[in-house]
Structure formats: structure tokens, C-alpha cells
Structure 1
Amino acid sequence: MSKKILVLAETIDVNASSAGKANMGFVNALVHNDHEVAVLHFSHKIVHIKGASTTLIKELKTDPFYWLSRLQRVLQRLTGKNFSVPLENKFGFSFTFKNDANSMVAAVKKMRGDFNLVITLSKAASFRTHAALLLLPDLHAKWLAYVHDPYPFHLYPPPYHWIEAGYEQKEAFFRAVSEKAAFSGFPSLLLKEWMGQYFPNFLKTGIILPHQNINTKLKAVAIPDYLEVQKFSIMHAGSLLDHRNPFPLIEGFQKFIEKTKGAAKNSQLLLIGASQAHEPKLTKICKRLPQVYKSDGYINYNEVQVLQKKVSVLLILEAISEISPFLPGKFPHYISEDKPIVHLGPKKSETRRLLGETYRYSCEAGDVIAISEIFMELYAAWKVNNNLSLERPDLLKYISPEYFNKQMSKIFDCE
């Protein structure tokens, strides 16, 4: 049954961040299932979504926090000092955060119509949309708070060790989200369980809503020169953050081409996305190993789509850890391409849970020998058939809008 849904999203710009892609996929799934969807977004640019109404939120310049944030910038520029840390330690959040949340509140209040559900989608470690809904208690009974990653940062699993300024206030804020939102959504089962350790109410209200494919129309673009389509090609798409260590991967790839006849001439490893955290070492290695290519920063999503369709193997690289509760935003896109996926990450991870314990192309991210052996096995298969496939209809079903709708019906059945 069609429902009237308001989505408050921090971004739906697919070229701005992985969150933009994930949020766009979320809205597309709602539209696909014939819901009447209105989207308020803070993307800083006009974005249209077929089948949904979209409204760009403007900054609320009458808000005192708007002027306080500008005053802070002026003082920082004049003094050369950064006041962000002491201010966040005192207030929990930046003035800009508070102004953005108030701007969202004002935009929601202007919306007309009685919505069956209000969904908040954020990005990175922001959750401004959730802060906005906390200020609208009349909507709490129909609020679905979507939690895409652990929050706050000090609740990330090892090896992430970062305590933010104002962490106590941030934790209190998210406890309020867990208790006030009637429903909560998570892209992964392990993430729900992880967050439920700290905020038990999520275990009661949470449903699993996997990331969705964007299904945007592919624009006609030339195949990038650096992709040699006749070769056995492995691609990792996405930023190489501090704890996504690419060096064991590269070492494993090097051992593979050294031990496998013909592989040095017929193979390439593509690292597509920002990689500043591993410079200048990564650039030096790429110069020494011509089979390894790294992009010069972020690549437009349309180009990434072309690459995903043309490479032989897709790769997910996670941190060297005991647990990874994240479902990568790229996961549904990889599954849709029906190509073998190499998963480098802990056994206890959402990706491994979905691929299955017996999945052959998965190992620890630091296991150089296992990585090289996986590449050897895939290369041998590619030599026989250069159009390798994943052949996992169960995963295609799992990331489908139909499964998404089945999960959402658990909420609507509560009405």
C-alpha cells in the first residue's frame, strides 16, 4: 500500500560523497515501491529524483547560530587560532551544525501534508538531520532514524581510536535519538547489533534496510585510457581512508604477478578514489609497479560506473580488525554488476556475513599470501573465461527494492 513519506536528507548528490549515492539509492527504492515521496535535502545544489519531489533547504540566516558561526570564522582568520575544539567541548557541536539543524527544522515546518513516515538520512559523522528531528517532538511517533555508521566516533570498533571534542554531549545526543525515534534503520545487521551495545533501544526499534543501487542512467563516456580492457583487471573503488591499508593488497598482487606466468603482462590493479592518507609511499610504489594504477583523487561516479562494468574483478578493502560492522555503500553496485568480489577484511564483517562463510575469495586484509592465492585462482579462471561472474541471485534479491519494501512493511504494519 502506498504511503506518504517525507525524507530529510543531508545530501542526495551522488558526486559529492558515498552518502549521496546511498541516500539516492534509498529514495529510489521508496519511489520504486510506489510511495509518495517528498525529499528535503541540504546538498548545496539542486538535485532532481524521478518520481519524487525534491526541495533544496536554504540556510536560515535569521538564526543566531548562523551569525555566531560567521563570527567564529572571522576571529579565526584574524587571530590564526582555531576555536572549534574548545567550543565543541563546551557545547558539544559547532555553531554551523546547530545552524544547519535549525535550517532543517524550519524547512520541515514549511512542508504541508500529513506524512505517514519521516525518515532522516545523514552523511559521514554529521547526523544533522537527526538533530533536527529531535527538535520536532510532534513527529517522533512517525520518525525512522537511519544510522549508516557507528556514532559518535569513540564508539567505532578498533582499530579506529578517535575521541571527538564534545564526545559526551554527542553520545547523549545519540542516546536521545535512539529513545525518541519510533523506528530506526541500519544498512547492516552487525551495525544494529554493534550500536545496540551502547544504545539498547535500537535493538527494539531497528530494522535492516540494506544500501540500494542508484540505478541511474549511464551517460555515454569513453573508457578511461588507464583501463586496459584486454587484461585481467582488479578494481577497488572508494577512498583509501587511514585504516584501509592498501600495502598488503599491493604486496599480494605483486606476489601474484611474480609467481604466475604471463600475469605481469596481462594484469592490472586499479585503486580508484582519494588516497592522501597513504602518500607519498603509494605514489612511489605505483611508479615502481606499472601494473598498479591509482587515480588522482576522487573520480566522477559516471566514470566509476563504466569501470565497474568493464573490469574483471571488484574488490572491497576493509581495515585490519576483528570486526567490521559496516556495509560498504559500493556493495549493491558491485552485486548488480555480477562480477567476482574479492573481500579483504575480518571474518566477522557484514560483507563476509552476506557473502557466506564458505565464500572462496575472502581473507584477512593483511594476509599477503592468501591475497596472492586468491588472485592466482581468479586469474586461472579468467584465462579460461574472461567474462567471470559472481552468480549470486540470493544477493541480488537481498539488495532489491522488493526486499527493501518487505523490510519497510514491518514499520507500516505497526501503524
Structure 2
Amino acid sequence: MSIKAKKILVISESIDINDSSGTKGRVALINNLVEAGFNLKVLHYTSKDIFLEDVDCVRIKERKISILYVLSRMERIFTRATKISLNPYLESWFGFSFTFFNDAKSIKKAVKKEIGNNTYDFVMTLSKGASFKPHYALLDIPEIHDKWMTYVHDPFPYHFYPRPYNWIQPGFRQKEQFFLEVSEKAKYSIFPSLLLKEWMASYFPNFLKTGIVIPHQSAEKDFPTQDFPNYFDASKFNVLHAGNLMKQRSPEGLIEGFKLFLHKNPEAKGASRLLLLGSASHHTEMLEKYKTDIPELYVSNGSVSFDMVYQLQQHVSVNVILESKSEISPFLPGKFPHCVEANKIILSLAPYYSETRRLLGDDYPYWAEVDQVEKIAAIIENLYQLWKQNPDNLNLNRSDLIEYLSADYLKKVLKSI
């Protein structure tokens, strides 16, 4: 069968790129599947009609004539009236909420109808966050398990995250059983990183047999050119971190490194800028103090539109990928493809064992642990001196990574199975 003839039914929890960074990654994968020549149909559970170019997209409607729907709404009304959430108790008993179960049933109904009328070579489930509703739905459709491709974007359940993440969800035993079944019943399991595949296989060994690594996809877009915001001066040496700063991702080491760089290079104060764009509510007090002390620091402490961030990534001097302090980071950050596309040096602040460092290479010089202040300062100083000589010295120039993140590589991987 030619690659052109292969038909894929994609069941995605969302295709609204504005609702999460995870959805941006899933849509990039869908777009590159089309670019690779696959014949796609997408069933999605987004709350509104959304259409993607060259893709047949159908919105799955929520079942509203069911006891689960009634129970989920009663739960919401109770919570709204009493300010008491029943979810922790319900998930402790059943593993998931009534809303989760009703959503999964809604997805199952739509999928069974679709496969009853059409034939597909693969059925791929995509999700976001910690829900995996399409995966749950397909467990109950055994007739397509032999063509099921399940996409595992993050560790699940939450207590399988590496430290410093220490979440334990209500109903964690039921969630473990759910994912054990996913690992055993899906024909193929897709992971965005090799380290994540190996990490999850340490809990669910069958993932080693079924696992395929397909990185977050590069899907360059032509956004309308916008005026730069007033906090950005393209003529300066700009170091940008774009993305939410979770509690476990402290920017303190980066800021201290930048501060030390300025102390050692006072002439750089008028020509340098550190930009932190994205929500940082867990670090507000610390960031406010640093903003007072370091005029060259800009903190948005709130979301910035994806198209603006994407444009800025193309025009800064250095893009930062900041991860948590840990022994290992099995994640491939969603911004990684955007930073590679931007063709700017990536300052990687990550554990020694991390997917970002693995891809950049052991000999990549612009890597440090997130709290290695002096090393971070030295790297920034080195990059600043290169920038002063010629800004083009800070081009990433990694054709191997461009290829790895491309539709062509995606096609090779899927053609090999």
C-alpha cells in the first residue's frame, strides 16, 4: 500500500491551538501528517467548530441524553452553590469524574459510527494535559485495537512524573490500571521523545515493544507581520524565555546568571535584555524583586499570543528552554521545534539526562543545569561577545534537527511500521 493510500482516523480531544501548548503540538502533528501524504479525517471534541486546511474535521458532540450527563451537571451545580468540589471524592471511588466518563462515551459513540461506515489503516488518539479521554474511549472498541496508534504526550498518571513533580491524583490506582490496558491493547504507542518512551516503559513494559518515537513537529506558519511590542528592541542582545513558568520551573538561576553577566560586563547593560514571556504566578514575589534590581529584565507575568511569541522567537538573539531541577527530564518541550525553526542559538537549562540535551548533543556548548549560575553567566557572556562581532554568529544552523522534526522524517517513521 502506498503512503498516499493510507487512511488515518485521528481522534483528538481538541484542535483549538489557543487552548493549550499541548494542542498546538497535536495540530502540528496533524498538519505534518497531511504534508507527509496521508489521507486524514479528524474527529475532535473541541467545544466549537474548527477547521484545519486540507483536513476533513468533524466536531464530536457531547451526549446530553444520559445519566452520566445528568450526574455531571448536578455535580457542577452542587460545586457552584457550595464551593465544595466533589471531584476528589468521585475520582477516589471511580477513578475519574462523571464528566470524564460522559465525554469518553460521547467520543466512543462517534468513533463507532465513523468506523462502521468507513475503513481506515490507522486510528490515532491524541489528547492533552492529564485527561486521555480518546484513549479511554478506544479501550472499549476492541475491533480497532489492531490499528490503534495511541499518542502518549506526557507521563501518566501524575505520580509517574519524575521529581520535583510530586502529584498524586485521586483514583491513582484506577488510572494506573487504565494506562496498563492502553499499553497492552494499542498496536502502536507514539512518544514525542525517546527518554519518555523508556521512562513509561519502566512502569508499563509493553511500551518497549509497541513504542515509536515521533518528536513534536516543526510546522512553520506564516503569521501576519505585527509591530514589535514596546518592550522589545530588535537591535539589542535579546535573551528570550517564552512559556509558562510552573512552580517546578524556577527562573531564578537564569536571572542570577544574567545578573552576573551584566556585573562582569557593565557595557552590556544598555545593549542587553532578558525577556520572560508567559504566566509566572508561582514566582511573582521573586520576579517583582528582580524587576526592581535589574532594569534589563522584562517579565510579562501573563500569557502572550502564540503568533507574537513565534515572531519574537525569530528575531531574538537567544532562545531559552528552561526545565526543572531534576535527575532526568524525559520531556521534549513543545517549544523545541519553534526554537529550531527560529534558527537562533538555544540556551538549554536542563538536567544532564534530558531529551533536549540528547537531541542537541553531548558536545553542545550552550547547556547548563538550571541552577549553575556561574556557568549560565559564562555562556551568556560568550554569546554576547559572538553577537557583538556579528549577530549571525548566533544562528543555530542545525539541519539535522530540522530534518528530525520534519514531515519527511515523520513519513519515514510511519512507512517503516
Q: How does 1:170-209 map to 2 (within 5 A)?
A: 170-209=175-214
Q: 1:276 to 1:113 in 2, by over 3 A?
A: same
Give the aligned length: 411
Distance 1:102 1:410 in 2: 33
How far residue 178 of structure 1 moved from its aligned partner, in angstroms, is 0.2
Match in the other structure for 1:67: 70
1:303 aligns with 2:303: no
1:390 is matched by which residue type in structure 2?
L
CA contact (8 A) 1:22 1:214 kept: no
Equivalent residue for 2:31?
28
Secondary structure class of the residue paired with 1:225: coil
CA offset at residue 91 of structure 1? Answer: 0.3
Q: Tell whether the 8 Å contact from 2:216 to 2:334 is kept in structure 1 after alignment.
A: yes
Is this contact kept in 2: 1:28–1:214, CA < 8 A? yes
Cα shift at 1:284? 3.0
The equivalent of 2:407 in structure 1 is 401
Task: Choose 290-299 or 235-244, whichever is displaced more.
Answer: 290-299
Residue from 44, 48, 66 that aligns with 1:45? 48
For 2:355, the equivalent position in structure 1 comes to 350
Report the TM-score, using the length of structure 1 for normalisation: 0.97
Is residue 156 from structure 1 mapped to residue 161 from structure 2 by the alignment? yes
Deviation at 1:248, TM superposition (A): 1.1
Matched, 1:326 2:331: yes
Does residue 340 (structure 1) correspond to residue 345 (structure 2)? The answer is yes
- 1:109 matched to 2:112? The reply is yes
2:202 partner SS? helix
Structure 2 counterpart SS, 1:46: coil
Which residue among 9, 23, 45 is the counterpart of 1:6? 9
Q: In the aligned structure 2, how far is the partner of 1:46 from the partner of 1:291? A: 43
C-alpha contact 1:324 1:346 (8 A) present in aligned 2 = yes
**Alpha-carbon distance in 1 for matches of 2:268, 2:91:** 53
Task: Tell me how far apart the structure 2 counterparts of residues 194 and 166 of structure 1 sit (CA, whole Å).
Answer: 22
User: How far, CA to CA, are the matches of 1:9 and 1:309 in structure 2?
Assistant: 29
1:410 matched to 2:413? The reply is no
Q: Alignment partner of 1:279: what SS?
A: helix
2:230 pairs with one of 221, 225, 230: 225
2:371 counterpart residue number: 366
Q: Report deviation, 1:209.
A: 0.4
Deviation at 1:122, TM superposition (A): 0.5
Aligned residue in 1 for 2:398: 392
Letter in 1 for 2:403: K
Give the SS at the match of 2:260: helix
The one-letter code of the counterpart of 1:332 is P
CA offsets, 1:123-174, max 9 Å, x none? 0111111111112111111100010111000001111111110000000000
| Aligned-pair CA distance for 1:73 | 1.3
Tell me, in whole angstroms, the C-alpha distance in 1 between the residues paired with 2:265 and 2:301: 29
Instruction: Give the aligned residue type for 1:46.
Output: D
User: 1:129 & 1:282 partners in 2: Cα distance?
Assistant: 39
Deviates more, 1:283-292 or 1:91-100: 283-292
**5+ long unaligned stretches in structure 2:** none
Deviation readout 1:312-350 (Å, 9 max, x if unpaired) = 110100000110000011111111111100000111000
Query: Can you list the C-alpha shifts for 1:75-125, whole angstroms capped at 9, x where unaligned?
Result: 223333221111100000011111111111122123231010000111011
Deviation at 1:285, TM superposition (A): 1.8
SS at match of 2:179: helix
**Bigger mean CA offset, 347-356 vs 72-81:** 72-81
Match of 1:236, SS state, is strand
- In structure 2, distance between residues paired with 1:254 and 1:237: 19
Q: What is the deviation of 1:47?
A: 2.0
State the AA in 2 paired with 1:37.
Answer: L
Q: Structure 2 counterpart of 1:58, which letter?
A: K
The match for 1:90 among 90, 93, 97 is 93
Name the SS for the 1:265 alignment partner: coil
Unaligned segments of structure 1, at least 5 residues: none
Whether the aligned pair in 2 keeps the contact of 1:24 and 1:214 (CA below 8 Å) is: no
Q: For the residues of structure 2 that align with 1:349 and 1:58, how far apart are their CA atoms?
A: 39
The whole-number CA distance in structure 1 between the counterparts of 2:58 and 2:222 is 22
TM-score in terms of structure 2 length: 0.96
Would the aligned equivalents of 1:213 and 1:399 in 2 still touch at CA under 8 Å? yes
CA contact (8 A) 1:336 1:396 kept: yes
Structure 1, residues 11-55: CA drift from partner, whole Å, max 9, x if none? 122221111110011101110011110011122222221121111
Task: State which drifts further: 397-406 or 189-198.
Answer: 397-406
The 5-angstrom pairing of residues 218-257 of structure 1 reads 218-257=223-262
Answer whether contact 2:220 2:341 (CA < 8 A) is retained.
no
2:278 counterpart residue number: 273
Q: Equivalents in 2 of 1:306, 1:290: separation in Å?
A: 24
2:171 aligned residue: 166
The match for 2:140 among 109, 114, 135 is 135
CA deviations over 1:225-254 (Å, ceiling 9, x no partner): 111111000111111011111111111110
Q: What amino acid is the match of 1:52?
A: V
Task: Quote the Cα distance in structure 1 between the aligned partners of 2:144 and 2:118.
Answer: 13
Q: Percent identity?
A: 48
What is the letter of the counterpart of residue 401 of structure 1? A
Tell me how far 1:396 sits from its aligned partner. Answer: 1.0
CA drift at 1:8:
0.6
Contact 1:11/1:19 (8 A) holds in 2? no
Contact map agreement 2:12 2:45 (CA 8 A) in 1? yes
Whole-angstrom distance in 2 between the partners of 1:103 and 1:327: 31
Tell me if structure 2 keeps the 8 A contact 1:121–1:129.
yes
